[in-house]
Amino acid sequence: MIVCFAIQNVLLPTLISLYSNMGAPAPDPVFVLRGAESPVTAVTFLCVAEGQRENYIAAGTQNGKVLLWNLQIKSKVAEWEAHASTSIHWLYSESPDILWSQGRCDSVKAWNIQSSSPHLIATYPLMDYLGFSSSHIIQVNNSTKLLSLPGPSQEGVTVWDVDKKFKISTLMPLDAKAYGSMMQPRWIKMEDIITLAVLYESGRITLWDWANSKILSQHQISENPMCITFDELSQTGIIGTASEKIFVFKIDSDLNISIMKEFSITNAGVSSCVIRPDGKLFAMGGWDSRIRLFSSKKCKPLAVLIYHKKTVECIAYSKGDIEDLGGGFILAAGSSDKSVSLWNIFN
Ligand SMILES: *[C@@H]1O[C@H](CO)[C@@H](O)[C@H](O)[C@H]1NC(C)=O
Ligand SMILES: *[C@@H]1O[C@H](CO)[C@@H](O)[C@H](O)[C@H]1NC(C)=O
Ligand SMILES: *[C@@H]1O[C@H](CO)[C@@H](O)[C@H](O)[C@H]1NC(C)=O
């Protein structure tokens, strides 16, 4: 705890030397998952059934495989080819039994993972989209679940009603070329309103009225945005970019997006960002192979985690406490170096 407190007030580049000067050990991962044959491009913790003791984590790889580890016994319990020869850009756990995956230039698939040989239960095609965007799901109410996925073409987003298998809308800016490639869609819930935030290569961040394919509001940032995350409680979010710049934004009740803060990290390129479920911290995975942690309130740098040898492609927080790894929220990072590191830090 003393270490955590002391490092809150120092600048990012001095953090690592500070750790060594104080004689405090630099934090290490609590565990590292190996066994992937190719870069790890997506990671998610699975939902836990009531009364279930084991926690599981899933990783997707550049060669289209999904690997499942049991974190109690720390072993791989399943591996299958989810998307033939194409990288997996998104994994999402809907329930302890259902895992979603998205393959690049392929499709979004839902898997029943109850047995050790998971089986496909639904497929939603991606149309002519060649980028690296992920998809996103939101449970609107008991009868409706919405899926947003990349395409058609490089600039579009398609919205599906998952259970009805009905394509609700296609979101395409009128002047699509000026927006550039679609980078990532993200559902945003504001009290009773659900809108879809979409990042574009040109730096535009738009909020869509997904039911009517209309832009509600938008904002322009100076950089190419790579990833977005949002905390419903504080109604603020983080955007990581292809440069050193990070943006903190808020959405007000008129659905107006505004930038609250802008700051820089040492090296350019953030591939993935996530807010811890309690809203207190956020974490970013960098092209420079580092993981950076910040306080949500003041965006103070808290730690730079150095373990991976190549780009950190994806990061995720556990949905709750994981006792088998020391308790508290666990942060997972998947890397091009083919490993997944697990961290128990600032709990
Ligand atoms: C659930 O949400 C959908 C989409 O907003 C809406 O059309 C539907 O009426 C809602 N259903 C109920 C039971 O509230
Ligand atoms: C959804 O279903 C659950 C359990 O059936 C019920 O407790 C809850 O009130 C429902 N929620 C809504 C928004 O209808
Ligand atoms: C939206 O937010 C921006 C930046 O804070 C502000 O300049 C603008 O007036 C706001 N627009 C509306 C419609 O509230």
Measured by CA distance, the residue closest to atom 12 of ligand 3 is 256
Q: Residues 30-65: pLDDT tens digits?
A: 999 999 999 999 999 999 998 888 999 999 999 999
3-class secondary-structure state, position 5: helix
Residues 101, 93: contact at Cβ < 8 Å?
Answer: no
Residue nearest to atom 13 of ligand 2 (CA): 141
Q: Which ligand is nearest to the CA of 143?
A: 1
Per-position b or e across 324-346, b if 16+ CB within 10 A of its CB: bbeebbbbbbbbbbbbbbbbbbb
Nearest ligand atom owner, CA of 249: 3
Among residues 269, 218, 219, 266, the alpha carbon closest in space to that of 242 is found at 269
**What order of strands is seen across the sheet that includes strand 312-317?**
31-33, 340-343, 331-335, 312-317
Alpha carbons 97 and 112: distance in angstroms, whole number: 6
Q: For 50-88, b where at least 16 C-beta lie within 10 A, e where not — what string? A: eeeeebbbbbbbbbbbbbbbbbeeeeeebbbebbeebbb
Report the nearest-CA residue for atom 7 of ligand 2: 142
Containing 190, the helix (H) or strand (E) segment is: strand 182-190
- Closest ligand to Cα 139: 1
Which of 219, 251, 253, 256 has the most ligand 3 atoms within 8 A of CB, as the residue to mutate? Answer: 256
The mean pLDDT value for 171-190 works out to 97
Distance CA 178, CA 181 (A): 9
pLDDT computed for residue 14 by the predictor = 38
- What is the spatial distance between Cα 228 and Cα 251, in angstroms, rounded to a whole number? 13
pTM for this prediction: 0.90
Whose Cα sits closest to atom 7 in ligand 3? 258
pLDDT, position 53: 86
Residue 136 has pLDDT above 90, yes or no: yes
Give ∠ CA 171-175-179 in degrees, rounded to 5: 75
Lowest mean pLDDT among 88-92, 98-102, 187-191, 211-215: 187-191
Q: Is 337 helix (H, G, I), strand (E, B) or coil?
A: coil
User: Tokens at residue 99, please?
Assistant: 């895992």
